[in-house]
Amino acid sequence: EAGVAQSPRYKIIEKRQSVAFWCNPISGHATLYWYQQILGQGPKLLIQFQNNGVVDDSQLPKDRFSAERLKGVDSTLKIQPAKLEDSAVYLCASSLTAGTYRYTFGSGTRLTVV
């Protein structure tokens, strides 16, 4: 079974620029999550999708962050404009459904904002 694919692996941008991350979950997984992990901290949930609908985006800074999951498969997370404090690893995870508790995480995208 292929894992959760994320790209790019690394990204360095200047503040106020925009950036996008891509995630391809495991085939058949209905639930997709984006987490932000700042250095030295645990991951924080940004948004949860069930198929192509948003279940929870209460911790997503909606003034600058947006995410979509067209057709209920791949997902894109965008930041525009980026701030220095957005420097973090962005992790994508998927599960069969929200109630299965078996998550598969991707390797993440490390974003550095300078």
Binding residues (CB under 8 A) for other proteins: these are: 4, 31, 33, 40-45, 48, 55-56, 91, 93, 95, 98-99, 101-108
Residue 35 or 65: which CB sits closer to other proteins?
35
Which residue's CB is nearer to other proteins, number 91 or number 111? 91
Amino acid at 90: Y
Q: Quote the tokens at residue 105.
A: 């995480």
Answer yes or no: are the C-beta atoms of 35 and 43 closer than 8 Å. yes
User: Closer CB to other proteins, residue 76 or residue 105?
Assistant: 105
The whole-angstrom separation of Cα 97 and Cα 104 is: 12
Nearer residue to other proteins within complex by CB, 81 or 103: 103
CB of residue 37 vs other proteins: minimum separation in angstroms?
8
Secondary structure letter of residue 85 according to DSSP: G
CB of 81 to other proteins, least distance (A): 27
- The distance from CA 88 to its chain's CA centroid, rounded to whole angstroms, is 11
How far apart are CB 95 and other proteins at their closest, in Å? 7
Look at strands 65-68 and 75-79 and give their pairing.
antiparallel
